[in-house]
């Protein structure tokens, strides 16, 4: 057991950690100041505010740097994406049409991609998503095009072909589902309720269980 009253240098280490945390905030603050200037220049020159290719290159570079420093690459990517998403809040609010209700994967993808700049417009169908885009009620629309299990989302592909809308960017998002029950659980569940798309994407799990 350590002797009472001794901290074995913990106080000094905590002071060092506090200083490093403060430096981290200062660096983010400086980055935000530069982002504001970039946004102003882009708006003044009519340039696209979001550059997905640059974002991918930046995240890839930071992942490599993190790995070289002995850090977890996924953690570094998550950190970078969080900072990037926050930075987009200074680009000005954009109205994004997505399939509702709240919490859909489309809404999650839109929030991840546009960050704080996104004002989500929830629609009850993919047709409504495209309608809001074509009537200029929305600046952008985020729709699912393909799933690695079920393949193409046919209705969205058909609407995209028939629409005058153009593809602006491509964004990948991991899809995961959970099995939920009423409080207390169900000892011998007999019926599983889900959206047909969820059933299809989880067919192996459903068949196995």
Say what the pLDDT of residue 86 is.
Answer: 77
Total-model pTM? 0.56
Say what the pLDDT of residue 47 is.
Answer: 81
Helix or strand run (H / E) with residue 123: strand 118-123
Sequence spans of domains, the chain? 9-90, 92-178
Do the domains 92-178 and 9-90 match in fold?
no
Q: ∠ CA(88), CA(42), CA(136), 5° rounding?
A: 70
Strands 151-152 and 94-99: unpaired
Q: Which ranges of the chain have pLDDT less than 70? A: 1-6, 92-93, 116-117, 149, 185
Q: Residue 4 has which token pair? A: 């009472």
How many Å apart are CA 84 and CA 82, to the nearest integer?
A: 5
DSSP 12-53: HHHHHHHHHHHHHHHHHHHHHHHHHHHHHHHHHTT--S--HH
Report the candidate in 71, 26, 35, 70 with the shortest Cα–Cα distance to residue 55. Answer: 35
Q: Hunting for tokens 């068949």 — which residue is that?
A: 207
> What is the 8-class DSSP label of residue 68?
H
Considering the domain 92-178 in this protein, what is its CATH number? 3.40.190.10
Going by CATH, does the domain composed of 9-90 fall within 3.60.15.10? no
Q: What residues does 140 pair with on adjacent strands?
A: 96
Say what the pLDDT of residue 30 is.
Answer: 92
Say what the pLDDT of residue 200 is.
Answer: 81
């Amino acid at each position: 057991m350590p002797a009472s009253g001794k901290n074995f240098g913990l106080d000094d280490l905590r002071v060092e950690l506090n200083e490093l945390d403060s430096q981290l905030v200062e660096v983010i603050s400086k980055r935000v100041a530069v982002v504001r200037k970039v946004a102003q220049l882009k708006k003044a020159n009519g340039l696209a505010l979001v550059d997905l290719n640059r974002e991918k290159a930046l995240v890839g570079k930071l992942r490599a740097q993190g790995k070289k420093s002995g850090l977890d690459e996924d953690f570094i990517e998550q950190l970078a994406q969080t900072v990037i998403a926050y930075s987009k809040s200074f680009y000005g609010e954009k109205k994004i049409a997505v399939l509702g209700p709240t919490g859909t994967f489309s809404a999650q993808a839109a929030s991840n991609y546009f960050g704080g700049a996104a004002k989500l417009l929830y629609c009850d169908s993919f047709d409504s998503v495209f309608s809001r885009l074509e009537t200029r009620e929305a600046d952008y629309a985020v729709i699912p095009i393909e799933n690695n299990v079920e393949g193409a989302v046919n209705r969205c592909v058909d609407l995209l072909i028939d629409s005058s809308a153009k593809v602006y960017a491509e964004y990948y998002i991991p899809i995961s589902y959970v099995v939920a029950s009423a409080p207390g659980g169900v000892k011998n569940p007999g019926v599983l309720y889900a959206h047909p798309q969820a059933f299809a994407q989880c067919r192996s799990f459903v068949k196995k269980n």
